[in-house]
Amino acid sequence: MQAGLPASIITGHELGIGRIGTAVPVPASTMHAANVNEAERAPSLQSRASAACIAHALRDYVGQGLGRTAGLAIYCALAPLNELGLRVAAGVAGAAIGGRMAWRLASAQIGNDTRWQQAGVGCCTLLGAAAGGTIAALGTNHPVAGFAAGSLLAACASATRHSAADTVELDNANEFKAGTAIVGTLSGIAVATCLDRAWKVDTRQLPARNLGLVVESAVIETCKSSFERCGPSVERHTLNFEGRIVVALSGMIPYVAAAALLNGYVAGRLQPTHDSQLFGELIAPTLVGAIANAVRGSANALAVCLLHRQQRFNIGEDRDCFRANTGIKRPRPRTVTDKACVRYFLSACRNALYARLRDAGYSVVDSNCIAQGVYACFAQCRDLINDLVRGDGWTEPAWRTRLAEGPIFPFTSTESSSSSSSERVTVGLADEDSSPLDEENSSHHVSTASSSSASSRRVSMDLNSEDSSQQGVSN
């Protein structure tokens, strides 16, 4: 038999067959279906908002748990010590923290340009130091009422910045705001003194609580600054200051309700009927009360997401409020110190109010509910206070002036074309006076309509003079 010939292998290259995928066109319907599938796989706004709210709640609870546990340990260790030494130490710490907070806040909001501003900053610093020392050491409630009244009056007085026409009037508005804050604080202290003559509480545990509060505030703010980018999160600074106020007001009711219920009622029921100094009796209500801060974090994050979806109060249209997970970051010492001072001062005021209610005969549960409810109203605005320390404030109106452009036919310009071009420039300036811009993008600010009209008249005069000489107008 004749052996069969081996079959020859013919490759696709020999037949002239190349890559088919690059030669065959893909139908448009297939590309559209692929884009639709990719869009469906992308996370929706609702899912991103839900994940961010949960992450904010978990981070806040972890930070609160660690900080409260550390503060409670310091309190239990210091409570049996000498009362006089504890009051002195608490007074020194409270004066230093209160003075620094008042100095940073007044310097950012009032300024140091004129002597009156420097005097206002000095008065605010002295008031903050005196109030912080007396609140931390003696539990005096009069500075608490005074600062509450002064803060509200200063917030109302700061609205006068909108009517400032130039830098001189703006400085006058800042000085008026500083004077209102000082006078309002002193008036509130005077009224509180007339209503309550007790300048010192009898609770021996108050100085130890406030000393433990120093460690608690530092640990909480360090954890918040370190863990804020762990997991999905939202950036509230994509909103202007007015938008951040709306966020604070939107989360006010959930946080106050959670603080009064969890920090006040539930934690009060878990505590003994007397003011205990044992770690084992206080750790459970301490951790339960931290849940209220988790509610606050999720509520604020949800408010930011809703405002971003509605495109309201956004600084930039292309800025996304959602931040990706970047892990633990190194906190900035100055930022942590500023935030810890604000947290300590508000918490010390809460402790002073609680101690005064206990001296007045209220039970642990009732004192907790009242003190935590009042504290939550101001603690919800803690982020706004931190923004004020950074120098933020009401968004000032900003306008831009459009420079005149050269005529299309510079060598055939007539008197009529000159007048019509000047009218167009004037109308353009008047139309743009009503469009506010972002602070980052605005390079020229015009405060009043009079300055805008003056600039339009100057541009019109330049156009008329240059058109009469048959020269092109340059930008």
DSSP 265: I
More confident residue, 26 or 329: 329
Give the percent of the chain with pLDDT over 70: 72
Instruction: Please check whether residue 453 is in contact with residue 431, taking contact to mean a CB–CB distance below 8 angstroms.
Output: no
Q: Name the band, by pLDDT with cuts 50, 70 and 90, for residue 342.
A: very high
Which residues, other chains included, contact 360 with Cβ-Cβ below 8 Å and sequence gap of 6+?
A: none
Q: Which residues of 351-366 are buried (b: 16+ CB within 10 A; e: fewer)?
A: bbbbbbbbeeebebbe
CA distance 62 to 406: 63
Given a cut of 50, whether residue 469 has pLDDT beyond it is: no
More confident residue, 335 or 424: 335
Q: What is the pLDDT at residue 253?
A: 93
Q: Name the band, by pLDDT with cuts 50, 70 and 90, for residue 404.
A: very low
Q: What is the pLDDT at residue 325?
A: 85
Give pLDDT tens digits for 176-194: 877 888 888 888 888 888 8
Instruction: Please check whether residue 153 is in contact with residue 184, taking contact to mean a CB–CB distance below 8 angstroms.
Output: yes
Which residues, other chains included, contact 385 with Cβ-Cβ below 8 Å and sequence gap of 6+?
A: 105, 342
What is the CB neighbour count within 10 angstroms for residue 262? 20
CA distance 143 to 195: 13
Q: What is the token pair recorded at 332?
A: 């900035």
Q: What is the pLDDT at residue 458?
A: 43
Q: What is the pLDDT at residue 449?
A: 38
Average pLDDT score, the chain: 77
Give pLDDT tens digits for 36-95: 455 455 567 788 889 999 999 999 999 999 999 999 999 999 999 998 999 999 999 999
CA distance 307 to 325: 22
Residues in the chain: 475
Where does residue 42 rank: exposed (0-12), middle (13-18), buried (19+ CB within 10 A)?
exposed
CA distance 61 to 290: 6
Given a cut of 80, whether residue 393 has pLDDT beyond it is: no
Q: Name the band, by pLDDT with cuts 50, 70 and 90, for residue 144.
A: confident
CA distance 378 to 188: 17
Extents of the domains making up the chain = 45-390, 410-468
Instruction: Please check whether residue 80 is in contact with residue 279, taking contact to mean a CB–CB distance below 8 angstroms.
Output: no
Residue entry with tokens 């130490």: 89
% helix, strand, coil for the chain, step of 5 = 70, 0, 30
Q: Which residues of 274-310 are buried (b: 16+ CB within 10 A; e: fewer)?
A: ebbbeeeebbebbbebbbbbbbbbbbbbbbbbebbee
Q: What is the pLDDT at residue 95?
A: 95
